[in-house]
Amino acid sequence: MSTSSHNLAAPGTPARVCGTTGLGVCLDAQRFIKLNAVCGIVFLLLGGVAALLLALTRWQTVHLLPVDWFYRILTFHGINMLILWILFFEVAILCFACTTPLNARLFSRKVAWASFLLMLAGAVMVDYIILAGQADVMMTSYLPLLAHPAFYLGIILVAVGTLTGVFNFFATLYVAKRDGAYTGSMPIVTFGALAAAIIAVVTLLHGAVVMIPTFTYSMGWTPQPDPQWYRLIWWGLGHQSQQVNVCAMVAVWYLLSHITVGARPINEAVCRTAFVLYILFINLASAHHLLVDPGVGATWKIWNTSYAMYLAVLASMVHGFTVPAGIEVAMREKGYTGGIFGWVAALPWKNPAFSGTALSVVIFGFLGGITGVTLGTQQINIIAHNTLRIPGHFHVTVVGGTTLAFMALAYYVVPLIFQRDFIWRGAARVQPWIFGLGITMLAFGMSFAGSMGVPRRSWDIDAQGVYGPAAHLWLGVLGLGGVLAFTGLLIFALLCVGTLFFGKKIEGRAMADWGTPPALAGSQPGSLAHDHYATKGTIVLTLVFLACFAVYYFANWKALADVWPVR
Amino acid sequence: MSLRPLTSPWFHAPAGHEKLWLGCAILWCFVMSLMMPYWHFRGKQNSTGEAYTVKPADFLARTEKFVAANRVGTFKNPIANPLGQELPLVEPPAGGDVYLIGRMWQWYPALRLRQGETYRLHLSSLDLQHGFSLQPLNMNFQVVPGYDHVLTLTPTSKGEFTIVCNEFCGAGHHAMTGKIFVE
């Protein structure tokens, strides 16, 4: 093992050369990738156990938890999944994206420790106070609901810790540029991570604006903030933080499609512009959650829903084309040229990092994206707000999209950073499929039950006496999907933890190959770089996507037209 | 290449399939953006967010006055509730103001409306936030304490409708229901 011998831009920085890629790895960055990734996976497992309990409660036939524990576990699930798992893993991604691709060293070990310890202290505080029954307020903690002050303080600590980590990321980028660690422009993976980090700063500032006065109110020091003001600012945290996930997820798509298939962005200028659109046009005003609220008017709602052009949606539609297009071009250059879809059959479907990425793209786009834009349409929100359609949407963006992409990433992070080959490789190959299928079933169950008016965040749907057998059937689908998704999650967690202890050590050699498509005879690398009509399969797929989108969108307008007139 | 810095000039204008897709996507985004103002003027279902600040005690007083003036009977809610199962049944004048309170855990009072008439329905909460969810129509609006949320509503179908609460409001949340009868 060639520790400390590799010359990063900063001489004397402990580093090693990766035995698989030949890239230099800063050992400080490696330590914090490990720490943050391990914590992320622990919180994922905690949130996953909670998810199983919730699915088995909303599955009305099973109805497992008592009422107080249902809401407690629902709060716990939201916090652990949407905040803790995602943030810890994203900090790990930031530590990677600003060092290895730029041949740079991490700016500061001390700052990284401060970030990690603040986040961990906050996370433990929040989880403890929820399980102690002192914060049954849901993740959103809408005022006048009030939790124990430790709940808000914990969230503030996690946010401050994350901001500290983001500062370390920016400082690392600055120093790398200043010291000339690399020449030219930063690679798209780093660029995507940078966009995510910028959105994270704006998000966390919203969090500070809303959480600090709520904390001081919970201590009895200041009067209660206005509940409608709280909703407005809180969603500047709540929805924008999910755009951080989207950005990080897309960066992971570019990274993994490159590693597994050799894909490259077909047009760097367009891909990067799309990331900039995320930064500029992600809904600054958190409007999508306030579309049927009092206190904000129709003009405000319509304007803040689309900014006249839906440019952030456009950004996702761009990535939804360029990622598969990059894959198609790479496959065609390798010699898989048959027909429109000949290259699809030859993709490495048994490579869990590839199948995870592909499923993430499809689930996020076809299910998450289409439902999200439709439900976030100002008037259509009347027939969707606070029903199960809403979690039906975000479980296929944050879970089927982001979480699945992050799981796929782990199939390379663990061997390359922890330097151990995966155990039970057969289980790893089916894991993304089980998880993807489970979460899709769960989301279908939620969406259809929600279309029948079943509320989200409700312990029981029999008390009201209005929901029939069809709603119960879809809640059963939700329950089965939840069990299946949890199985996939459990396999993932066991694989990761088991590998850390029992995986075969990689000492300076290449990691065991998950399988990548070999170049056929007659392959010509780079031959299609200027052929703008080589992506026949991708353009067909994206046009099918657009057709599905339009059908779903206008079907919802039709459903809206059938309810009582209201203004 | 995704993982290494770019050195060559990397700016290229979109062309071919990429240009086609960008065009389709931009057009679609415009269509979706225009649908909302279009529906605001030509469609019948909109959330205008008409609202006025109101103190919970004042809203309670207005509602009690409204109930006393228009009460026509009593509705016995079959769902057990710590606040009691009997609700006043109120029939407001056609085209008039209607007051509905959301509180832990009941919608107060029960309403009887006329098909085809238009009402100004005032919604507010006396305690936490609640969700006004009219079933089986599946129309949903947010109810926030301190805000008198006014819906100008025209029932166009007859029957018995249940108001379900769909914003979490504590342990009795799932059993928080109300009634609207349309004749």
Runs of H (alpha helix) within A399-465: 404-413, 425-451
Scored b (16 or more CB within 10 A) or e, B130-144 reads: bbbbbbebbbbbbbb
* Average of per-residue pLDDT values in chain B: 93
* Average of per-residue pLDDT values in chain A: 92
Work out the average pLDDT over A480-502. Answer: 96
SS3 A88: helix
In this complex, is the C-beta atom of A480 within 8 Å of any C-beta atom belonging to chain B?
no
Cβ-Cβ contacts under 8 Å for A120 (sequence gap 6 or more): A39, A161
Looking at the domain A348-503+532-561, which fold is it?
Cytochrome C Oxidase; Chain A (1.20.210)
Distance CA A518, CA A261 (A): 9
CB contact under 8 A, B37 and A302: yes
Q: Give per-residue pLDDT as tens, A521-546.
A: 888 888 888 888 999 999 999 999 99
- pLDDT of residue A417 exceeding 80, the answer is yes
CB contact under 8 A, A550 and B153: no
User: Which of A183, A257, A270 has the CB atom closest to B14's CB atom?
Assistant: A270
In this prediction, residue B137 has a pLDDT band, given cuts at 50, 70 and 90, of very high
Distance CA A91, CA A110 (A): 15
User: Which of B12, B140, B149 has the CB atom closest to A267's CB atom?
Assistant: B12
As a whole number of Å, the end-to-end CA separation of chain B is: 69
In this complex, is the C-beta atom of A253 within 8 Å of any C-beta atom belonging to chain B?
no
Exposed, middle or buried: residue A113 (CB in 10 Å: 0-12, 13-18, 19+)?
middle
List the beta bridge partners of residue B103: B106
Q: Please report the pLDDT score of residue B2 as a whole number.
A: 67
Distance CA A271, CA A277 (A): 10
From the list A435, A400, A388, A451, the residue with the least C-alpha distance to A59 is A388
In this complex, is the C-beta atom of A463 within 8 Å of any C-beta atom belonging to chain B?
yes
Out of A148-162, A259-273, A274-288, B96-110, least confident range: A274-288
Count of CB contacts below 8 A, A vs B? 315
Q: Give per-residue pLDDT as tens, A171-192.
A: 999 999 998 888 888 999 999 9
Q: Please report the pLDDT score of residue A326 as a whole number.
A: 94
Distance CA A333, CA A320 (A): 21
Distance CA A415, CA A428 (A): 13
- Mutation choice for A interface testing from B4, B22, B41, B47 by most A CBs within 10 A: B47
Contacts of B36 in chain A (CB under 8 A): 302, 305-306, 377-379
Q: Please report the pLDDT score of residue B82 as a whole number.
A: 78
| CATH architecture label of B51-182 | Sandwich (2.60)
Give chain B's radius of gyration (CA, Å): 24
- pLDDT of residue A19 exceeding 90, the answer is no
List the beta bridge partners of residue B164: B133, B177
Work out the average pLDDT over B130-150. Answer: 96
Place of tokens 């799309």: A274
For the ranges A328-342, A424-438, A502-516, the maximum mean pLDDT occurs at A424-438
Residue pair A309/B30 in contact (Cβ under 8 Å)? The answer is: yes
In this complex, is the C-beta atom of A313 within 8 Å of any C-beta atom belonging to chain B?
yes
Out of A60-64, A111-115, A235-239, A475-479, least confident range: A235-239
Contacts of B43 in chain A (CB under 8 A): 379, 560-561
Q: Please report the pLDDT score of residue A283 as a whole number.
A: 63
Q: Please report the pLDDT score of residue B136 as a whole number.
A: 94
In this prediction, residue A4 has a pLDDT band, given cuts at 50, 70 and 90, of very low
Q: Give per-residue pLDDT as tens, A313-351.
A: 999 999 999 999 999 999 999 999 989 999 999 999 999
Q: Please report the pLDDT score of residue A286 as a whole number.
A: 76
Q: Please report the pLDDT score of residue A152 as a whole number.
A: 96
Chain A: closest CA distance from residue B10 (Å): 6
SS3 A295: coil
Distance CA A312, CA B123 (A): 34
User: Which of A318, A384, A465 has the CB atom closest to B25's CB atom?
Assistant: A318
Contacts of B12 in chain A (CB under 8 A): 267-269
Cβ-Cβ contacts under 8 Å for A57 (sequence gap 6 or more): A63, A64, A65, A70, A459
Domain ranges of chain A: 348-503+532-561
- pLDDT of residue B102 exceeding 90, the answer is yes
- pLDDT of residue A491 exceeding 70, the answer is yes
CB contact under 8 A, B11 and A460: no
